[in-house]
A = this chain, B = another copy of it.
Amino acid sequence: MIRAAVVGATGYTGLELVRILSTHKDVELTAITSRSNPATLFSEIFPSFKGIVSLKTEEFDATAISTKADLVFVALPHGSAMDVVASLLTEGLKVIDLSADFRFSSLSTYEQWYGGHSCPELLKETVYGLPELNRERIANARLVANPGCYPTSVILPLMPLIKEDRIVNESVVVNSASGASGAGRSAIVSNIYCEVNDSFKAYKVGEHRHTPEIEELLSLAAGEELLISFTPHLIPMNRGICSTITAKLKNNLSTKDLLKILEDFYHKETFVRIYPEGSYPDTANVRGSNYCDIGLKVDERTGRVVIVSVIDNLVKGAAGQAVQNMNIMFGIDEGEGLNHVPFSI
């Protein structure tokens, strides 16, 4: 039995971690923390958990947690996470951090896009927790940086094509759209129901912080610096990310050729599903599940490929991927606790 704790359990990512962990047969959830709702029954804050989770939230205390847990999921905002993570590692715990604080191998990139870092020495040992790329390193990590939601949806489909040198690296244009849970459980006017409903908009045009994360990973694969145009949008729905990626092809390749590359790359993966020619995924096809679904089409008129990939931002984009990483770190079946059938309706 893995004894797990969730730090920041009352945000949407924390909530989703609790949802998934509460039915994971090899996990005992032993501690949850919350600053906004301290010392309260989780099932009182979220009555949906009545009869399911009987824990109370507690204040964060690394030493106290170390007596109860083997692994800690840290679901705090970037900036707040780094010190918490460091203190947990000091206590000898394994940590999966869901913030951006440890996602970059380059300190200067972090500083440029996010600000100062209090424990840069940890960046070196941290493993970027995308199981489909880093499975072996994750297995041996004590600190895993869980990928961002947008990056997961972009890196998975692009990685094989870049590694095989099929696309013109400087031509990548990414348009993504996310459900409103991506903005977190923050009481701010722009998050109010009436401001999001019946509305669709681009935001942080040319300056979203997931841009360098995507670029670092793709550059590694490309063997050269690769910059992308990334424009995120907000969709009036709770969950789901759809990334539409357009790129020039290096050669005369067909839709079938590119699908074959993806299928070959991912044929052993449980959570990546490649769609047949003529078919494209819908965010509803993966809702509530850990899948990343991918479809694509070569447009011969323009010499570009258009790739459509979807994930549930809270699952494969956050909590589900974190649990997948945990499974790998503890040597159990990678899909354990993640067999949710997508909730398509």
Residues of chain A having any CB pair with chain B under 8 Å? 12, 15-16, 19, 22-23, 46-52, 170, 173, 175, 177, 179-181, 185-189, 191-203, 205-206, 227-229, 231, 233, 235-240, 242, 244, 246, 270, 273, 275, 279-289, 293, 295, 297-299, 301-302, 304, 306, 308, 310, 314, 339-345
Contact, CB under 8 Å: A236 / B238: no
Contact, CB under 8 Å: B341 / A23: yes
Q: From residue A81, how far is it (CB to closest CB) to chain B in Å?
A: 21
Choice from B194, B206, B302 contacting A12 with Cβ under 8 Å: B194
Q: Which residues of B contact A345 (CB under 8 A)?
A: 12, 15-16, 181, 194-195, 238-239, 314
Contact, CB under 8 Å: A193 / B180: yes
Contact, CB under 8 Å: B231 / A244: yes
Closest to A191 in B: B192
Contact, CB under 8 Å: B185 / A197: no
Cα–Cα, bound, A289→B46 (Å): 15
Contact, CB under 8 Å: B280 / A203: yes
Q: From residue A101, how far is it (CB to closest CB) to chain B in Å?
A: 23
Q: Which residues of B contact A288 (CB under 8 A)?
A: 288, 343
Contact, CB under 8 Å: B199 / A282: yes
Q: From residue A146, how far is it (CB to closest CB) to chain B in Å?
A: 19
Q: Which residues of B contact A280 (CB under 8 A)?
A: 201-203, 205
Q: Which residues of B contact A197 (CB under 8 A)?
A: 180, 193, 197, 236-238
Cα–Cα, bound, A202→B12 (Å): 23
The 6 A-B residue pairs with the shortest CB-CB distance in the complex, in nearest-first order: A201-B282, A48-B342, A199-B284, A175-B175, A193-B196, A48-B344
Q: Which residues of B contact A279 (CB under 8 A)?
A: 47
Given contacts A22-B341, A47-B281, A173-B246, 18 further A-B contacts (CB under 8 A): A15-B344, A46-B344, A50-B293, A175-B244, A193-B193, A194-B238, A198-B198, A199-B283, A201-B281, A201-B308, A202-B244, A205-B295, A206-B298, A229-B246, A229-B299, A229-B304, A231-B306, A235-B236
Closest to A344 in B: B48
Q: Which residues of B contact A198 (CB under 8 A)?
A: 198, 237-240, 283-284, 287
Q: From residue A38, how far is it (CB to closest CB) to chain B in Å?
A: 15
Cα–Cα, bound, A235→B301 (Å): 27
Cα–Cα, bound, A301→B170 (Å): 11
Q: From residue A272, how far is it (CB to closest CB) to chain B in Å?
A: 10
Cα–Cα, bound, A47→B276 (Å): 11
Cα–Cα, bound, A299→B301 (Å): 27
Q: Which residues of B contact A283 (CB under 8 A)?
A: 198-201
Q: From residue A235, how far is it (CB to closest CB) to chain B in Å?
A: 5
Q: Which residues of B contact A52 (CB under 8 A)?
A: 341
Closest to A175 in B: B175
Q: From residue A131, how far is it (CB to closest CB) to chain B in Å?
A: 16
Q: From residue A245, how far is it (CB to closest CB) to chain B in Å?
A: 10
Residue among A22, A52, A205 with the most chain B CB within 10 A? Answer: A205
